[in-house]
Chain A
Amino acid sequence: DTEVTQTPKHLVMGMTNKKSLKCEQHMGHRAMYWYKQKAKKPPELMFVYSYEKLSINESVPSRFSPECPNSSLLNLHLHALQPEDSALYLCASSQGLAQETQYFGPGTRLLVL
């Protein structure tokens, strides 16, 4: 099973809302990632978790708050977002940071109004 699942598939939220994106993998991977992708652009790294600890934060605004409750789950909490935050949010996982192949989920399409 090489599947990474993400929920919801689509999300529309206002700038004052609080919402969460969820990601799950059951491959025993110990590294998990959040990416943001704008149309016709490559994914941009946001956060990396390794063994459930935040390893990399790519200077992401604090209105995005990641959480890794356990080795299979990764959340991204959203609060007070801006319209320019509208994008496809992708979760990925890999065996470890030294194992470079990252497997991606289908993404959550986020629209901020």
Chain B
Amino acid sequence: GESVGLHLPTLSVQEGDNSIINCAYSNSASDYFIWYKQESGKGPQFIIDIRSNMDKRQGQRVTVLLNKTVKHLSLQIAATQPGDSAVYFCAENNAGNNRKLIWGLGTSLAVNP
């Protein structure tokens, strides 16, 4: 399943499928990008980050892709599990903004068993 964060805030996938959550960022000067996962009733949990000198970074079951040409960031989750159900936020950051995080609106991921 795939979503564009700004236009489809909810993504529903079957357990075991791969998920793709997309994020369009605003500032071409942003040089650091982070994905957070927030489960209901909890604080945001750091998942993975990427700097602007890279276009791909992999973690455990997650991959972040960065396309600076079109200012697009995506989070891929392999073999999605029920425990992946949460709201996913992308955030961008740059030195010109006092290093304050600029957050995306979030995408809600629902995993169907």
Contacts and interface: CB of A to CB of B under 8 A. Distances in A.
B105 interface: yes
B25 interface: no
A102 interface: yes
A100 B3 CA distance: 26
A101 B34 contact: yes
Contacts of A41: 105-106
A45 B49 contact: no
Interface in B62-108: 87, 89, 91, 93, 98-101, 103-106
Contacts of A45: 100-101
Contacts of A101: 34, 46, 49
Contact of B45 (A6, A100, A104): A104
Nearest to B87: A40
Nearest to A9: B41
B77 to A, nearest CB: 20
B99 A104 contact: no
B61 interface: no
Interface in B31-52: 32, 34, 36, 41-46, 49
A41 B41 CA distance: 13
B8 to A, nearest CB: 14
Given A45-B100, A45-B101, A106 B106 contact: no
Interface string A6-44: 100000000000000000000000000000000011110
A98 interface: yes
A25 B41 CA distance: 20
B46 A103 contact: yes
B106 A97 contact: no
**Which 4 pairs of residues, A with B, have the shortest CB-CB distance?**
A42-B103, A104-B43, A104-B44, A107-B43
